Structure formats: structure tokens, C-alpha cells
Structure 1
Amino acid sequence: MFLCCWLVLVALIPTTLSTNPGVKVRLTEKGIEYGRQLGMAAIQQKLGSIKIPDFSGTEKVFLIGKVQYSLSNIHIVNVGLPKSSVDLVPGTGVTLSIGDAFISLNGNWRVKYLRIIKDSGSFDLDVNGLSIATTISIKSDETGRPAVSSDSCSATVGSAKVKFHGGASWLYNLFTTFIDKALRNALQKQICPLVADAVSDLNPQLKTLNVLAKVDKYAEIEYSMVSSPTVLKSSIELSLKGEFYNIGKHQEPPFSPAAFYLPPQNNNMLYIGMSAFTVNSAAFVYNNAGVLSLSITDDMIPKSSPIRLNTKTFGAFIPQIAKQFPGLMMKLLVKTVKTPTLTFEPNNATVQATTTVTAFAIQPNSTLSPLFVLNLEASVSARMFVSEMKLAAAVTLNKMDLTLDKSNVGDFQVGPLENVFQGVLKLVVIPAVNAQLAKGYPLPTIGKMKLMNTQLDVLKDYILIGTDVQFS
């Protein structure tokens, strides 16, 4: 996966759309340098696979005459790429340059001259001053995933020197100039195709990009590009859709992503900015799926709690309940009535939720008798964090407001119930929400990618994840 850390991110270029992204990614100089190191290791390995076929010829040597020679079993013993660079061409793309490279080979030689004299031995070939320059073409395949290829390549070999060993090698070293040129040409023809192969070898890794990542049985998140990458002098910025959808039903929410801009930070290899739009699109999806509700019974409340879900507890605040439904257990149904809304402010993430709480008495035959319906407005603070390759969160209750919607047990004052319902939220609802949020939601990733030294900051209208990257 040789140029993964930078080339993968440059490569995310499906059809350009004129819309704001929900997620932005920036690859910094530090990330590009890591990608260069991975790339050099892969290209070095690829050049180590150079195959030079056996070849033979005839050369005229002073005082000896015609010498017939053949070289066989030629193979690489060492490849060195001491100098290389990745250059960003603003507004254009990426170039990769390699200089002062060297390749060492050895093989066997055999000669025949004066018709009857035969000799053989081994030889070493040192290739120095090798230079390679290539540009990378990045396109989108039919699935919306990136595909890369070497668009252009040039390779030059500075020198190639053969030294014979064994037999009368001192004599044959006199005409190595002829062989040097032949071997240099044979090498030079193979270098660019091998570099092109090294670039193409990245495509299977690109196929692992989670352009559409499944979250659970209700939701998936799309990370396709909404515009071509922005190539700057020292960084590359990508614009991803970053939108949740119901599985099998891609319905757009009644709101759109607002423009946002990543701050000029470069301490980490990679920065991921996720807007409030992305998180709110998740809330829209789960609300549409009808899963933002929770049925609460007494066995879900810790035994140590003084709050019990029965008509005796609630009868202390609403006497009509104790009179009409004595000695019965109760059930609460908490259900959202509109999509919760998250807002990001510096160092603060807040969710506003509007729900109803319907209370029932559970009859001996298990039927439910409706008691009352309350409107509950709640505000919670969210702590966002990265867990492995996912964005997770945990919420705590800020405040709540209760009002009476309707009652089957006559009018009553809601105020005395606020402590009870605040306890129910803290003991049951918030832990249930946090258990779900702790499972996390996938970040854009490829292959066996690992995030390291990760930091998360909440800014105006988006969160910023700064991280280093490691590929295994």
C-alpha cells in the first residue's frame, strides 16, 4: 500500500458536485513525508524484481580478435534510493522524483576466442546515477472509488560498470565498455514499467476505501468526494460528503451543510473536520427510522434508587393515580417528536431534544392504561472522542423542562415531578444513549489504517480531529 498516506487521500475524486462538504480532510507535510517513506520502500522492493534476460554478442578485441561472450543468471543484489521527494503542484497534482539511486547486480559470464579457447566466471554490475521522475494520474472508477496510474515517467541511468571475476577476467575487463552500454539499456527499459506497476499496486488498497460505510442495521454514512482535491503548496485538502442515510433509502434531510474552513494547523499528519451537518444528518436518519424512543420499566432502575416506577411513588405527587390504579407497576415511553439538533461552539457540543413522556399503569393482565403525557425539552452536553477508527461520544444532562400535554387522571402540577423525571433521565435514558454512542461511527479509512496521537477539538460549527497515521 505504498503511497497510502498521501496518494490515497489525493485520489478520492468522484464526480464533482457543487455542494458544501460535511467532512473535510487535510494532509500536511508531515503526512506527505510519511507517504514518501512508504513509497520508497515499495518502489525499492519493486526495482529489486528487475529481470535482465541472458544475452550474448561478439566484440573485436585488440591483439585477440573476435571474442564471443554470453552473460547469464543476472540478478539484483542491492537497490538504493538515497534521494527522493514528493512535490505538490498547486492546482494540479503530485510528482515523485528519485535521484542518485543505484542498483548492484551479479551474474555469470562465458567467452570463446581464437576458436578453441573458452573461459568463464562471474561478474558484478554497478549501476549509479539512476534518476526517476513520475507524475500520478488520479481518476474515479465506476464505483466512485479512486484509481491511480503513472501518467508519465522518465528514467535515466548515469553509468553501468561491469567487472569480471575468475578466469582471465583481467583480459575481459578490457572490453567491458561494450557490455556496459548493453546492460544499461536493458535496465533503463524496465524501470518506468516497474514504477507504473508500483503505482497500480495501490489500486487494490484503494478498493477498501469506505465510500459507503455501514454503521448498523439502520444507518450508513457516505464519504464520497463532492469536489476535486485542493492541492496547495504544502498540503492537500479534500471535501467529503459526510452524510448519514437510512440503509436502502437515501433521503436528503431538510437542511444543508454550511461552509467551514480548517484552521492552519500542521502538527499532525492528518486533520479531519466533521461538521454539525454530519452529526445532525445521523439524528435525522435515526429519527426517521423510529428508533429514538425508549420504554422504561421499574426493573431498569437501580434497586438502590428511591425512585420506583409504580403508582405508589407517582401517587405521592398525583393522588388521583393512587386512587384509580392502586398497587400497580408503571411504564414510561420516552419518544422524540422531532429530530434532535446538535450545535458546536468552541469547547462545547450541545444537543437539544424535544420528546414526549407517556406514562402507563400496567394492569394485572399486562394491558396498559394511559395515565398522562408530558412534553419534555432536554439539553445535554456531548463529549466527543475518537475510539480506534470511530468517532464516539458521551452525553450528560444540562437541564430539562416539563409541561403537561394531556392527562387521563385530571389536572395536576408538573413541577413536583421534575426531580423524579430528572432521576429517570440520569439513571436510565442517559446511560442507554451513551451505550449506543460508545459504539462509535466510522471515520473515513482505508485498509489496515491506525490512528495515533489523536486529539479532538470542538470549534465553531465543526469538530477537528488531528492525528498521525500508521499503516500495517
Structure 2
Amino acid sequence: MPVKISDNGGASVQVEGMEVGLTLGLENQEGSLKLLLKHCGCYVKDISIKLDGGASWLYQGMIDAFEGKIESAVENAITKKLEEGISRLDSFLQSLPKFLPVDDKASLNVTFVNDPLLTKSSIGFEINGLFVERKMTLVSNNHHKNLQSLVFCADSSKMLGIALDEAVFNSASALYYNAKFMQWIVEKIPDQSLLNTAGWRFIVPQLYKKYPNDDMNLNISLSSPPIIEISDGKADGIIYSDLIIDVLETGKVIPVACISLVIHASGSVRIEGNNLAGNMRLDNFAMSLKWSNIGSLRMYLIQPVMWTIIQTVFLPYANAHLREGLPLPIIHGFTLRNAEIIFSNSKLTICSNVTYAKALDLSL
């Protein structure tokens, strides 16, 4: 007959003098971060396993006999788990996107440039940071100087610092300009009387005389990419625009004059989630007659009209897009918190803490 044997008891385990050592390397590999495990080891000085209850006197002898092998097995198991964890973290870093979509026209090139800069308390990364066409998939070969210093934040307790050179903003400006995004036809404005020749009869009499009581529209386009300049404490923009006055007569669009504008604006920026949003206001503008099919124009009479159009049409249109913001290079799942924005010579710096909605999934 089979004999059933059972036993029960308890055990306590005490580990003394455990040391774990890791030596890691972090380098740029074709625009991605490569995490290298150079050394990994675990040392256990002593493991004490005490059994009680049942036939613990029998098992205790076996445990004591294999104590050295148990210590070695624990050291190997911990080392293996560390190696697996580093491998998963490396896979996660390798999987970070090289381009962040902004909209259907543009992406932000976030490929890493140069090797990270390591200090005792922080890691500095340099990314390409320029805006490229959405369809572009090749990494830019633009030359970058070696990263000389980390982003400076006056509040050293901030967890993250991001420095954006004005070249980043000007790359976005050039991209949207080349995509023909910076042109539009204005058919409705707050003062709708300005879109009828009757509203111009005392400003440009010959326009009203030639096209009495005809509706009009304004064809606005930029003649070159806007220029963004960042200096201590502020950001400024220079916008070169052409405004064509069109008369709508019996189903035809008749261009009658073109006025060139040079608009000087100052801007403010703020953080919206993980986006850098902005707003601009008019400082001053200059204007000149580019061409006319209705004779010479008295520009000093037209200037107040242009001021009204810039303030009520041009700037609201531009600010509607600026409010949407541009994405900052933040790892998915993290959100900026209590961010500060600092303007310096040709550079905008964001110093912030971060929060995350959930732990990073490294089980790749």
C-alpha cells in the first residue's frame, strides 16, 4: 500500500553584505540612443536560512551543506535579471521615434545628435530639432557642434531642461512657407464695409469711380518666410507680406493693386500640455505700393486701413494657429508640470518638472 508522508514548517532568510555593480555606456547610434552594459555583477557575503517546525533538523543539514551553491545561484539569478532589464531598456530607447508628427505637413526631427553629455547629477542630450516635411524619412545630415554644456536652469530642482535655438522656429517658418500654407483669401472681416469699393471712395476715389459698389476680397500671401529672433527677455518676428486688392465684378476676380507690408511683431509663449504655444502682437509696420492698375495711391490715407486689417484679420488668423502650439520632444506618457520659460540670446529655454500617467512599459 502507498504511504503518504507530509510535513510542514517555516523558514526565515537573511541576506548580509549584498553588493550589486553596474557599469553602463550610453551613445548615439545612427540617431538613436544605444545603452551598453559594460559590466554587471552581484556579490553576496552571506545567506542565512533557518528552518523550523516538522523535520527541520533534517532539512537544515541539507541547506547548510549547499549554502555556497545557494549563494552562487542567488548571485547569478540577480545578475541575469539585471541584464534582462538593461536589454529591455535598450530596446525601449532604440524604439523612440525619430520624427514627431505635427500636422499633415510637418514633423519635428528628434534624431539624436552627438553622444550624450554625462555629469554627476544629470544627462544632456542634443537632438536635431528642425522641422521637416511630413513625407521626409531620412535623417538630416546637418553638421552640429559637440554639446559643450547642459541646459542652464536657475532652479536646480527642475527635473528637465529643453533649449530651443531660434533656428528651430525659423525651420518651421520656412517649411510652412514652402508648403504654400501662408496665403489666404479674406472674404469676411469685422468691418465688412472695407470689402466694398464704396468703403474706399474717400481713400482711393478712382477705385470707386471705376468699380462703383462692387464687392472686394483681399488676397494675402507672404513674400518670404517670417524671421524669428530671440533675445534676452523677448521674441520678435518680422513678416514680409503682399496684400492684393481684388474687385469682384460679374463673376470675375480683378486684381487692382498690390501693397507690400513689412510687419514687426513681438511674441509671448506659454506651455500648453507638451506643446509650446504662442501669441503675437503688432509693434509697427511699413508699407509700399508694389503695383497698381488704378493709378497712384495716397499711401498715408491707406495706412489706417492697413492697420485695421492687420489688427483684425492678419493677427487673429496667425494667432489662431499659434495657439495650437508646436510639440516639444517629450517621451510619450510624460507631461510637463510647473514649467518656466527663459529667453536668452538666440535661445529659448524651458525648465520644468515632469509627471507621468503610467509607468513605462519596458516589456518589449
**TM-score, normalising length from structure 1?**
0.68
Tell me the residue number matched to 2:273: 388
Tell me the residue number matched to 1:276: 166
Of 112, 124, 130, which residue of structure 1 is paired with 2:18? 130
Is 1:193 equivalent to 2:80 in the alignment?
yes
Q: CA deviation at 1:211?
A: 2.0
Is 1:457 equivalent to 2:351 in the alignment?
no
SS of 2:125's equivalent in the other structure is: strand
Against the structure 1 CA distance between its residues 249 and 190, is the aligned structure 2 distance closer, same or farther, given a 3 Å change threshold? closer
Q: CA deviation at 1:279?
A: 0.4
Q: CA deviation at 1:167?
A: 1.3
Amino acid at match of 1:184: E
Residues 40-87 of structure 1: CA deviation (Å, up to 9, x unaligned): xxxxxxxxxxxxxxxxxxxxxxxxxxxxxxxxxxxxxxxxxxxxxxxx
Distance 2:338 2:283 in 1: 31
Is 1:354 equivalent to 2:243 in the alignment?
no
Of 420, 433, 436, which residue of structure 1 is paired with 2:305? 420
Distance 1:406 1:140 in 2: 54
Bigger Cα displacement from structure 2, 175-184 vs 368-377: 175-184
Is 1:340 equivalent to 2:230 in the alignment?
no
Tell me the residue number matched to 2:361: none
Tell me the residue number matched to 2:33: 146
Tell me the residue number matched to 2:42: 155
Q: CA deviation at 1:171?
A: 6.2
Whether the 8 Å CA contact 1:350–1:381 is kept in 2: the answer is yes
Against the structure 1 CA distance between its residues 171 and 204, is the aligned structure 2 distance closer, same or farther, given a 3 Å change threshold? closer
Whether the 8 Å CA contact 1:272–1:464 is kept in 2: the answer is yes
Tell me the residue number matched to 1:238: 125
SS of 1:271's equivalent in the other structure is: strand
Q: CA deviation at 1:232?
A: 2.6
Whether the 8 Å CA contact 2:28–2:113 is kept in 1: the answer is no
Distance 1:160 1:256 in 2: 55
Distance 1:252 1:412 in 2: 50
Against the structure 1 CA distance between its residues 172 and 412, is the aligned structure 2 distance closer, same or farther, given a 3 Å change threshold? closer
Bigger Cα displacement from structure 2, 280-289 vs 196-205: 196-205
SS of 2:283's equivalent in the other structure is: strand
Tell me the residue number matched to 1:374: 259
Q: CA deviation at 1:129?
A: 2.3
SS of 2:278's equivalent in the other structure is: strand
Tell me the residue number matched to 1:267: 157
Distance 1:315 1:249 in 2: 50
Q: CA deviation at 1:257?
A: 8.1
Residues 141-181 of structure 1: CA deviation (Å, up to 9, x unaligned): 66x32232432111011221111122143565466432433
Against the structure 1 CA distance between its residues 260 and 392, is the aligned structure 2 distance closer, same or farther, given a 3 Å change threshold? farther
Tell me the residue number matched to 1:317: 203
Q: CA deviation at 1:187?
A: 0.8
Against the structure 1 CA distance between its residues 257 and 180, is the aligned structure 2 distance closer, same or farther, given a 3 Å change threshold? closer
Of 134, 137, 141, which residue of structure 2 is paired with 1:247? 134
Amino acid at match of 2:317: A
Q: CA deviation at 1:267?
A: 3.0
Q: CA deviation at 1:435?
A: 1.1
**TM-score, normalising length from structure 2?**
0.87
Tell me the residue number matched to 2:108: 221
Whether the 8 Å CA contact 1:245–1:251 is kept in 2: the answer is no
Percentage of pairs with the same residue: 23
Against the structure 1 CA distance between its residues 256 and 126, is the aligned structure 2 distance closer, same or farther, given a 3 Å change threshold? closer
Whether the 8 Å CA contact 1:155–1:192 is kept in 2: the answer is yes
Amino acid at match of 1:318: V
Distance 2:179 2:138 in 1: 12
SS of 1:282's equivalent in the other structure is: helix
SS of 2:77's equivalent in the other structure is: helix
Against the structure 1 CA distance between its residues 256 and 169, is the aligned structure 2 distance closer, same or farther, given a 3 Å change threshold? closer
Q: CA deviation at 1:208?
A: 5.2
Amino acid at match of 1:452: R
Amino acid at match of 2:234: N
Amino acid at match of 1:455: E
Q: CA deviation at 1:404?
A: 0.8
Distance 2:177 2:101 in 1: 17
Residues 263-318 of structure 1: CA deviation (Å, up to 9, x unaligned): 36323111111011110111111111111112111x2x12xx47531101122200
SS of 2:78's equivalent in the other structure is: helix
Distance 1:256 1:407 in 2: 46
Distance 1:124 1:338 in 2: 76
Of 279, 283, 286, which residue of structure 1 is paired with 2:176? 286
**Structure of greater relative contact order (alpha carbons < 8 Å, 6+ residues apart):** 1
Distance 1:467 1:403 in 2: 45
SS of 2:195's equivalent in the other structure is: coil
